[in-house]
Amino acid sequence: MRLKDQAARIPQIYLGRCSSLFLFMLLAGTAIEGQQNRGVDISLDPSNTVIRWTLGDVLHTVRGTFKLKSGSIRLDPATGEMTGLVIVDATTGESGNSARDEQMHKKILESSRYQTITFRPTHEIGKFDLTRDQTFTVDGVFNLHGQDHPLQLVVNVRPNSGALNLTTHFDVPYVKRGLKDPSTFILRVDKDVSIEIEATAQVKQ
């Protein structure tokens, strides 16, 4: 090949190599972006979820439970945005006293009308990590008695054989949230009910 022809091919070779490098960088960047935007699906197991509530009065403390109906959450680790819904079956609320529970469902919860209590997460504050124990904060919307209210949860997470153990605690000012005050002239009860949740969640990426 003549020297003139070789010189003419140099720009073509250079452009070819640059194009290949650009294509490689583009594909690598797309792959990294895809990994960063990959969502995390978190499913709560109702059979391994315990919801306890505690209400104090002047004589003693009343304790009871609710049952989880379902819980499905999707988290975008890159932005912290969350979607999904956690549903508690309000009709399962019980305290171990049938007469008291009947009044609770009929006059306070009105569970025949408002059959679910829900939490809709919207945003995670912190860095979610599946590999270590951690605590992070979740902002969301709590629906009680048919009304939406903002709620921020502090969630403790512990990895456990491919699953996650989750715990959280919060207080609900139920009287301010529109529920009837069960206090009487003789018996006075707290205006806030304490909620504790222990759950096991399955995770898919």
Going from the first residue of the chain to its last (205 residues), give the mean pLDDT of each consecutive group of 10, the final group possibly shorter.
50 49 42 55 96 85 96 94 97 94 94 97 88 93 96 95 93 91 71 96 89
In terms of domains, do 26 and 53 share one? no
Work out how many domains the chain is built from and give that number: 2
- Tokens representing 62 are 């009343």
DSSP symbols for 39-104: -EEEEEEEEEEEEEEEEEBSS-EEEEEEEEEEEEEEE-TTT-BEEEEEEEEEEEEE-S-HHHHHHI
Enumerate residues 6+ apart whose C-beta is below 8 A from 9.
none
- The whole-number pLDDT of residue 138 equals 96
* pTM for this prediction: 0.79
102 shares a domain with 7: no
Phi-psi category of residue 110: left, alpha or beta, with phi > 0 → left and psi -120 to 50 → alpha? left
Give the residues across from 148 on adjacent strands: 143
* Residue 141: other Cβ atoms inside 10 A: 14
What pLDDT is attached to residue 183?
A: 75
Same domain flag for 26 and 95:
no
Q: Are residues 142 and 90 in the same domain?
A: yes
> Which DSSP symbol is given to 185?
S
The verdict on 103 and 56 lying in the same domain is: yes
Dist CA 54 CA 195 (whole Å): 7
pLDDT at 1 (0 to 100) = 52
Claim to verify: residue 7 and residue 69 sit in the same structural domain: no
Domain shared by 77 and 143, yes or no: yes
Pair 79, 45 in one domain = yes
Which residues, listed in sequence order, are joined to residue 144 by a DSSP beta bridge?
147
If asked whether residues 102 and 14 sit together in one domain, one would say no
CA dihedral angle for residue 101, residue 103, residue 109, residue 114, rounded to 10 degrees: 90
CATH code, domain carrying 129: 2.40.128.110
Tokens in use for 2? Answer: 């003549």
Residues 42, 25, single domain; the answer is no
Say whether both 73 and 171 belong to one domain.
Answer: yes
Which residue range is the domain that position 27 belongs to?
1-36
pLDDT of res. 128: 79
Same domain as 154, residue 56: yes
